[in-house]
Each structure stands twice: as C-alpha cells, then as structure tokens.
C-alpha cells in the first residue's frame, strides 16, 4: 500500500483489505491527530456509520453503516494501466518466476512440467503481440504512462478492465485514446462518474463494437450523453444499474444490435416504446426488470407492428408476467424468432409442457422457446391442441364453421388473436372434436376401429377395440406385432364415419386417439 496521498484523492476509488470503497472525505477527525480518509464502502456491512461521527457530519452515505475512517497508509489507490498489464503478462524477477530445465517452469517452490508452454511465455513476455488483454481486478485506477501504451501494446483490440478502481469516464478515455483499434471494452463493476453534458465524438471509440457497463451506476441519460462517441457500437450491456427511466435515443445507438437492461427495475413495459425504433436492434435482454405487461399500439391483432423492426431475440426471464395478453402482443413483432421467459407466473396451474404449447400457438413465427428449437411437428401439434382447447369457447363467442356466419366477438379475438388464422390453416373445429369427455368407464373408453391397408389389397381389414387414451406410438407398436412392419415405417391416418371422404393424418406419436377425436366405427388407414 502506498502512503502517498494523491492530490485528487477525493472521489477516488480505493481498495483496503480486499474491500472496495469511494473516498468521501480527506482531513482531520478531532480529537485524534493526523490525516484520515473517510470512505463509503461498496459493502455497507464493512462500515460503522453513515459519515456522522460523534455528532459531526463529515460526509454522507446511502447506508447507515456504509462509512468508515481509515489511515492513508492502509489505502491502495491503484496502479496505472500499463503497470497492471506488465504485472499480469510480463515475466520478471518480482513475480518469483524462473526457468529450470528446458521442460520445467519453477513457480515459487513448485515445479511445473512444460508442454509447449515456452511459446506461451515468449508471447506473453512480448506485450506488443497481445490483441486481447485482461486486467480484471488488478487495481487499475489511472492511465499511468499514457504515451507508452500504444508503443508497448500496439495491436490491442479487446480490454477487460472490469472490477478495478476506475473513478471516472475521463480515465477510460485517457486509456482508450492510446488504443487505436479498440473493439471490445469491459468496464463492469467500476463505480464511475459519467459526464453530465453531451460528449462529442473524439474518435477514441470509433471502432468500438462491444461495451459492458454492468454495475457501474450509469444512468440511461448518461448513456445517451456518451453515445455520440460510440458510432459503431453493436452490443451494450447495462445490467444492474438501477435504471428505471428510459429516453428516446436521438441520432445515437443506431448501430446497436444487442441491448442488455437486465436487473434494472423498469417495471413499466411502456418504457420500451422509447427504444422501440432502434433500427438494427436484434436482441433485447429484460430479465429481472419487474415488467408485467407490454403493448404495441401501432398494430391491431393479426397485424405486425413497426416497433422493434429487427428484434429477433427477446429475454424476459424472472419477471412478473402473469397475463396471456403479454404473449399475444409478442406475435405483433415482425422479426421475433426466439423467446426466453423462464420463471414467470404465467398460468401457474398449467404444466410446463402445456405452457410451452400455448406460447408456441400464440406466437406464429417463433423458432426457439427457452433455448429449445420448435420443430414443425411440434408447432403443428401445439396449434392443433390450441384450436381444440378453445373450440367450445370460440363457438360460444359466435364462431361458426360456415365462414359467412363466423363472427366471434371482440373479447374472444383479443384473448385469442391467432384463433381465426388457425381455423383457416387447419379448418374450423368439427363438432365431434369438441365433444366433452364422458365419465370414465371401461365401456366409454374402448373404441371399435376398423384397420385397413389401402395400398395392400391382399391384407384383410381388421376390427380392434382400442382405449381412446392409447397413443399413436402404442398403436404403431400393436400394428408391428400384427403386420410385422417397424413402427418407424408406418404412416397412419383415419376416416371419420361422420365426415365421408375426409382423411385426417395421425402425425404426432405422442397424442392419443381421443386427441384426434377418433370414434366408434371410424376406419384407421395404415401405409408403409
């Protein structure tokens, strides 16, 4: 630890006994003698008071036990950027590293066998070959030898400066201005002061594509003030910054493809309207933001919104989404392909499988749900299930198999905006499909079905009694025993005794005969 007190100590970030803090006071604390530093700890359990000591207010803390006084010689004010890089990557006597035999490396008292490690050491000792540098948790607090950075590390493209002692955005600019090809910059877990006025582009960040500012205390207003200096930015990470209010970006962030606002209590879903016209935004992360609803008022149900025109991936895990209207609105997003929505109180009485089916049926263009691909067969099954599940409600609302009489009321259409489309896609549900299940008795559960092989005229029809709960997969197993044809080669369909000439494919092995509304007297057709 350095006992030299910097002239700009007030407001600086410091490290003491592995704990981080911000200097809030420098001076005397009577009746004691000597100089004291008043700090506000990041961990409030580390402190003793809120800056008020024996009735005298020296500074203010956000937490009643967030403050302490410590002596300057106990404080680490950090090191310059290049010093940290050399400490991390340069091999010298101070690091207690020595070479033993040709195939050994001595680290302190331990001997490690080298397997191609000599080339790694050579590259790391030559800092001018490094493109990706990580000095995470290396107590970097200032630029240090500013003019030396570009000469020592001329081809840097990526820097990880997270969890250091950076106190201000100006310090970041001082470091970055020496890196001509900077594309990726991680600054998370640095509690910094950001500009309070617009900062014109200086060229420092002209090539920056990825910027992480998680847990830095930055506000959305400060982001917009700095954004003119990020003309090529594609990914911006702003998690855990207490951002509660958004503003519309004007002529900034227009190249942004990914925005992470997770763990910021936005709560009001209408806040999203303010960022809905970022033209290239493809992924939006809103986990743990408290949102429960969203609305895209520029489009009616069944139409596509102009908002979020490029959004393909949406993450809304760990929120308060409990209404299906939220999911209905997402179908308006013209480019949405992937949705993550784990841990939301959406239909808590329903099984995860049923919830998945409902979401798939409600969002027509979705290709991935909770990181799992939606295959065409799963989508078809989900949409058929949905069509059947709400068929009686559709009829009660004014739905009809005759298109000229099919006029369900607005309340039903608002709750099920894709239902009419599914009827056009698969046909309106038949009366037989929507009949209510009879009380369970063995007699009620057995169906008499005729099994025919239309492509094999020599095969005589068979009559079988099958439980209506029997899955298509088990039917194929039965047919394998009867016909000696592997189930994987069988294609099943059926003809209803009530709908002559209409053949319905049995294409989902996991569904039951009851699901397909097979009744007594129906004919099952088997092909291979």
Beta-bridge partner residues of 373: 368
pLDDT in tens, 449-485: 999 999 988 889 999 999 888 889 889 888 888 888 8
Distance CA 22, CA 382 (A): 55
Contact by Cβ (8 Å): 261, 244? no
Domains in the chain (CATH in brackets) are: 12-74 (2.30.30.190), 79-91+123-376 (3.80.10.10), 377-433 (no CATH), 446-527 (3.10.20.90)
The pLDDT, as a whole number, for residue 450 is 93
Contact by Cβ (8 Å): 138, 164? yes
Contact by Cβ (8 Å): 368, 339? yes
pLDDT in tens, 348-369: 888 899 999 999 999 999 999 9
The pLDDT, as a whole number, for residue 230 is 96
Contact by Cβ (8 Å): 435, 514? no
Question: What pTM value is reported for the model?
Answer: 0.78
What string of pLDDT tens digits covers the 528 residues of the chain? 444 789 899 999 999 999 999 999 999 999 999 999 999 999 999 999 999 999 999 999 999 999 999 999 999 999 999 999 999 987 443 444 334 444 454 444 444 454 444 554 454 457 888 999 999 999 999 999 778 898 889 999 999 999 999 999 999 999 999 999 999 999 999 999 999 988 776 799 999 999 999 999 999 999 999 999 999 999 999 999 989 999 999 999 999 999 999 999 998 889 999 999 999 999 999 999 999 999 999 999 889 999 999 999 999 999 999 999 999 999 999 999 999 999 999 988 888 999 999 999 999 999 999 999 999 999 999 999 999 999 999 999 999 988 899 999 999 999 999 999 999 999 988 766 676 544 444 445 688 999 999 998 888 999 999 988 888 988 988 888 888 888 788 899 998 877 777 888 898 888 888 888 888 889 999 998
Consecutive H or E run containing 494: strand 491-495
The pLDDT, as a whole number, for residue 125 is 53
3-class SS shares of the chain: helix, strand, coil, % to 5: 25, 20, 55
Q: How far is CA 164 from CA 43, 135, 153, 315, 420, in A?
A: 15, 8, 20, 29, 57
pLDDT in tens, 220-251: 999 999 999 999 999 999 999 989 999 999 99
The pLDDT, as a whole number, for residue 2 is 47
The pLDDT, as a whole number, for residue 146 is 73
The pLDDT, as a whole number, for residue 122 is 53
- In 3D, which of 232, 174, 73 has the Cα closest to residue 159? 174
Apex CA 33: angle with CA 28 and CA 38, to 5°?
35
- In 3D, which of 227, 237, 251 has the Cα closest to residue 185? 237
Distance CA 20, CA 55 (A): 26
If you count DSSP H runs as helices and E runs as strands, how many of each does the chain have, helices first?
13, 27
The pLDDT, as a whole number, for residue 435 is 63
């Amino acid at each position: 630890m350095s006992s030299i007190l910097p002239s700009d100590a007030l407001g600086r970030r410091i490290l003491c006994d592995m704990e981080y803090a911000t200097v809030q006071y420098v001076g005397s604390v009577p009746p004691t003698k000597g100089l004291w530093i008043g700090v506000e700890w990041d961990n409030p359990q580390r402190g003793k008071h809120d800056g008020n000591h024996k009735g005298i207010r020296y500074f203010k803390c956000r937490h009643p036990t967030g403050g302490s006084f410590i002596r300057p010689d106990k404080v680490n004010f950090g090191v310059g950027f290049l010093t940290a890089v050399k400490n991390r990557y340069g091999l010298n006597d101070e690091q207690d590293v020595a070479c033993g035999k040709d195939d050994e490396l001595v680290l302190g008292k331990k001997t490690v066998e080298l397997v191609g490690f000599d080339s790694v050491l050579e590259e790391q000792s030559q800092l001018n070959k490094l493109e990706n540098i990580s000095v995470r948790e290396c107590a970097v607090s200032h630029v240090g030898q500013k003019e030396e950075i570009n000469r020592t590390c001329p081809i840097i493209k990526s820097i990880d400066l997270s969890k250091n002692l950076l106190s201000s955005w100006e310090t970041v600019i001082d470091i970055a201005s020496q890196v001509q090809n900077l594309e990726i910059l991680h600054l998370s877990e640095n509690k910094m002061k950001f500009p309070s006025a617009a900062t014109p582009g200086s060229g420092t960040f002209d090539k920056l594509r990825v910027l992480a500012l998680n847990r830095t205390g930055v506000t959305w207003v400060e982001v917009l003030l700095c954004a003119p200096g990020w003309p090529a930015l594609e990914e911006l990470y702003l998690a855990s910054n207490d951002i509660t209010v958004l503003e519309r970006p004007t002529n900034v962030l227009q190249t942004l493809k990914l925005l992470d606002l997770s763990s910021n209590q936005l709560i009001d879903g209408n806040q999203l309207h303010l960022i809905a016209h970022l033209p290239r935004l493809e992924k939006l992360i809103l986990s743990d933001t408290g949102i429960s609803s969203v609305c895209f008022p520029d489009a009616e149900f069944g139409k596509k919104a102009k908002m979020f025109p490029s959004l393909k991936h949406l993450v809304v895990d760990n929120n308060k989404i409990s209404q299906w209207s939220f999911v209905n609105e997402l179908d308006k997003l013209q480019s949405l392909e992937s949705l993550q929505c784990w841990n939301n109180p959406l239909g808590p009485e329903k099984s995860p499988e049923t919830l998945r089916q409902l979401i798939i049926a409600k969002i027509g263009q979705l290709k991935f749900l909770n990181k799992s691909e939606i295959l065409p067969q799963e989508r078809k099954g989900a949409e058929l299930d949905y069509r059947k599940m709400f068929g009686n409600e559709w009829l009660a609302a004014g739905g009809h198999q005759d298109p000229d009489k099919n006029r369900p009321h607005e309340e039903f259409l608002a709750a099920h905006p894709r239902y009419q489309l599914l009827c056009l896609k698969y046909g309106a549900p038949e009366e037989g499909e929507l009949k209510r299940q009879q009380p369970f008795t063995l007699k009620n559960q057995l169906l008499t079905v005729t099994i025919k092989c239309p492509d094999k005229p020599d095969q005589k029809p068979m009559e079988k009694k099958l439980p209506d709960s029997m899955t298509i997969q088990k039917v194929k197993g039965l047919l394998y025993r009867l016909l000696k044809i592997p189930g994987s080669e069988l294609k099943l369909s059926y003809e209803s005794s009530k709908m002559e000439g209409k053949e319905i494919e049995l294409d989902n092995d996991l569904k039951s005969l009851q699901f397909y509304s097979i009744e007594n007297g129906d004919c099952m057709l088997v092909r291979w």
